[in-house]
Structure 1
Amino acid sequence: MKTISCNDTLVVSNHRVLNADLNEHGTVYGGRILELVDGQASIAAMRVARRMTATAAIDNVQFLRPFDLKDSMCMEAYVTGFGKRSIEVFAKVIGEHLMTGERFLGFYCFMTFVILDANKSVQYEKLIAETQEQKKLTELYLQRRKSRQDQQQTQQNFLSDISVEKPW
């Protein structure tokens, strides 16, 4: 059985908050966080796929605490489950107040990536969780996957009624 561990997919990087990252409230713009996290998570997904992937969904997006100019952001992302062509990645951003050293969880989400080539699939059969956090998140993978599938079905029921015509 071909296995891979969550740690084999782990991506960690740090980002110093700069003025260009800030919104009108003096905190990091949410879109900037999503941009950074998407880049990190895509690396974790590619470590499983070893093929081109694309972001298909971002779920459970939680902005817990703001990041400001005196903070750094430590981004971590790793795979928490996969199917035949889909790969779920958990991403979190830990803030550090650079003046005090206080650390805090500021953001997390789950992202789903899909292998773009319909003729290719994930070559692993099992994902091995090593830390307590990884064990908890991988245990709940099938539940999150089912929830996403249910949501997709609901979405299909109303998409045909969404207008793309100009409202004016």
Structure 2
Amino acid sequence: MSAFNCQASLVITNQRIFTPDLNEHGTVFGGKILSVVDNSSSVAAMRLTRQTVVTATLDHIAFRHPFTLTQSMCAESYITGFGKRSLEVFTKIIGEDLTTSERFIGFHCFTTFVVPDAHYEIPYSTLVTTTDEQRALSAGYAQRQSQRRTEREGQQALLQAIDVDLPWDAKQD
């Protein structure tokens, strides 16, 4: 097995913010941001796997600063760790005020993807990082992966308590 360079998965997408992107507060709707994240991070994931991937989790989600009409959003996504069939992608969205050139971190999160083919195995053994940011985020991969495993186990009780019947289907006594 060989090494995969984190930089080879880097995806950078820019979007100008327009009126249809805004919510009633005049800031970008959170669902729009999550759509940008899923799109960008899935490209990074497929650059590692060259296989179809499915989104398993989004975590460490942080809406840090709102995006408004005179700004743009620059999403950067790249691989921060991987196992046999799963991988983690970090995405940050940098805002830029197009009238003043001021930049800020508006959003960041980690997305976990899984290759649905049970026979597939990621053909790399190590991840090569090249920037301080990549090294710092990749260093925390094992801990985040362990946290996700613990959370998955804890969710079993929650899933058993969730009712799938619709309220209007409830039987009346």
Q: Which amino acid aligns with 1:167?
A: P
RMSD between superposed Cα atoms in Å: 0.8
Unaligned runs of 5+ in 1: none
Cross-structure match for 2:146: 146
The TM-score normalised by the length of structure 1 is 0.98
Q: Per-residue deviation at 1:121?
A: 1.4
Cross-structure match for 2:16: 16
Cross-structure match for 1:88: 88
- For 2:129 and 2:144, how far apart are their aligned partners in 1? 17
After the TM superposition, which of the residue ranges 137-146 and 156-165 deviates more from structure 2? 156-165
Unaligned runs of 5+ in 2: 169-173
Q: Per-residue deviation at 1:118?
A: 0.9
- For 1:143 and 1:165, how far apart are their aligned partners in 2? 37
Q: Which amino acid aligns with 2:125?
A: E
Q: Per-residue deviation at 1:167?
A: 2.4
Counterpart check, 1:117 vs 2:117: yes
- For 1:50 and 1:32, how far apart are their aligned partners in 2? 26
Equivalences for residues 16-165 of structure 1 within 5 A: 16-165=16-165
Cross-structure match for 2:171: none
Greater than 2 Å deviation, 4+ residue runs: none
Q: Per-residue deviation at 1:157?
A: 2.3
Q: Per-residue deviation at 1:110?
A: 0.2
> What percent identity do the matched residue pairs reach?
49
Q: Which amino acid aligns with 1:128?
A: V
Higher Rg of the two aligned structures: 2
- For 1:109 and 1:50, how far apart are their aligned partners in 2? 23
Name the SS for the 1:160 alignment partner.
Answer: helix
Aligned residue pairs total: 168
